[in-house]
Amino acid sequence: MTPIQTQEMRARRQPASALSRLIRNPVQLISAIILLGLFLVALRNVLPLNGAAEYQPDQFARQLIFGLAQGSIYALIALGYTLVYGILSMINFAHGEIFMAGAYMGFFAITAAQETGLLASDPVLALFITLLIGMLSSAVVAVLVERIAYRPLRNAPRLVPLITAIGASIALQQIFLRLFGASTRRYPDVGWFVLPNACPALGTQGLDDTGLCRGIDLIGGRYDVTVIGLELRILPIHFLVFALSLALMIALWLYVHRTKSGKAMRAVAEDRNTAALMGVNVDRVIVTTFILGGLLAGAGGVLYALYNQQVSPFIGFLPGIKAFTAAVLGGIGNIPGAMFGGLFLGVVETVAPSMLGLSSQLKDVIAFGLLVMVLIFRPQGIFGEVLSSKRG
C-alpha cells in the first residue's frame, strides 16, 4: 500500500473515530443533542417560515450593540483574571471587588466634579479625572490584596490561595459596606455633546432640555435612527464603552509583547524559578501584573457605572463571575482568549434569550450553561490555556 493510500484511509477513519468517541461519552452526546435542539429552535425563530420571523434583524442589531458594550466590560475584568493566572497559576476571586472599588471611587470623583461645576463646564476633563481615579484606586486595592493576602501564601498548596481569594473578596465587600453603607449610589447625569451639525438630521432628538441644539450626547443620549432599513435605538455610550475598552485591551497586548517589562512577565509566566535565576525581579513582575489587572478593572468599573449609573458594595460579584467565565471560555492565561471570551459572552447572553424565545431573565442561565458546554467539549477553552501542558 502506498503512503497516499494510507493517508486516505486515515482521513476516512477520522470522522468515524470522532463519532465513536462522542457515542462512548454520554455527557458529550447529551450535550451535543441539547446544542442541536437549541440551534433548531433559534433557526425556527429567525427564519420567516410562516409569515414574519419572530426574531427580527433590528432586534438583533440593537442587542448586538449592547452585547458588545457589556462584553467589553467582561473582557477588561477577565484580563485581570488571566494575567494573575498566567503569573501565579491562581484564580483571584477578589478581582470582582477590585472592579467594584474603581466604580465606587469613580462615583466620589464625578460627584465632586459635579459639585465644583467642572462636570458642566468641562465634561471631558471631568470624565478623564473620574476614569483616572477609578483606575488608580483599583490598582491600589489590587496591590494591597496581593501584598497582604497572596504574597505570604505564594509557596503554599494551591487550595490555600484559592480560599484566601474568596476570603479577600468577602472582606472587601464588607469593608466598602461598612465605610459607605448598603444603599445604592447613583452616578450623576452627564452630558458630553459633540457634532452640533448633526442636529438637523436628529430633529427634536438633538435638542436639550432647554430646547437648544448642542449636538449628539455621547453619555446620556438615546436616539431613534434608521440604518440600512433597520429601526434602531442608539445609545452612543455603548459605542464609547466599546471603543475605550478595545483601546485599553490593545494597549495591554502591546505592553506585554513589545516592552521589556512585558517580556519579563512572559518569562515569569513560563518558569518563575528560571526567570529569577536569569535576573528577573519576580516580586516586581507580580506587583506589576496586579497593577495592570487593577487598572483595567477600574476602567471597567467606571465605564460600567457610567451607563448603569448605580454602584453598591455588591455590584462586583456578578460581573466578576461573568468575567471569570469569559476567561475560561477564551482559555485561562491567554490574553487574546480573555478578550474574545468577554466579547463573545456579552453578545451571547444578550442575543441568545430573545433568539431562543426565552425571557431575558434567563441570560445568566445561558451564560453559565455556555461555560459548562465549553468545559465539556474543550476544557482548555476556545483559544487554549497557555502552558496548559506544564500546569496540568
Q: Which of 254, 288, 310 is the last residue of a domain?
A: 310
Question: Which of 311, 357, 307, 338 has its CA nearest to residue 189?
Answer: 307
What is the per-residue pLDDT for 137? Answer: 95
Q: Please give the pLDDT value at position 366.
A: 85
pLDDT at 50: 62
What does DSSP say about strands 230-234 and 223-227: parallel, antiparallel, or unpaired? Answer: antiparallel
pLDDT at 204: 57
Q: Are residues 341 and 272 in the same domain?
A: no
For residue 391, what pLDDT is reported? 46
Phi, psi of 157 (to 5 degrees): -55, 155
pLDDT digits (tens, 9 = 90+) for 201-212: 565 555 556 666
305 and 322: one domain?
no
Domain extent for 367: 316-387
Q: Show the low-confidence residues of the chain (pLDDT under 70).
A: 1-25, 49-55, 197-213, 385-392
Do 167 and 217 share a domain, yes or no?
yes
Residue 108 cell numbers, joined: 466620589
Question: Is 263 within the bounds of a domain?
Answer: yes
What would the grid cell of residue 121 be? Answer: 463646564
Indicate whether 301 and 322 sit together in one domain: no
pTM equals 0.85
- From 276, 294, 310, give the residue that closes a domain: 310
* DSSP letters spanning 266-321: HHHHH-HHHHHHTT--HHHHHHHHHHHHHHHHHHHHHHHHHHH-EE-TTTTHHHHH
Number of domains in the chain: 2
What angle do the packed helices 95-116 and 57-88 form, to 10 degrees? 120
Helix or strand holding residue 389 (H, E): helix 388-391
Q: Are residues 360 and 236 in the same domain?
A: no
Considering the domain architecture, whether residues 136 and 216 belong to the same structural domain is answered as yes
The cell for 172 is 472587601
Same domain for 251 and 356, yes or no, is no
Q: Given 310, 338, 365, which residue is the final one in a domain? A: 310
Write out pLDDT tens, residues 233-262: 888 889 999 999 999 999 999 999 899 998
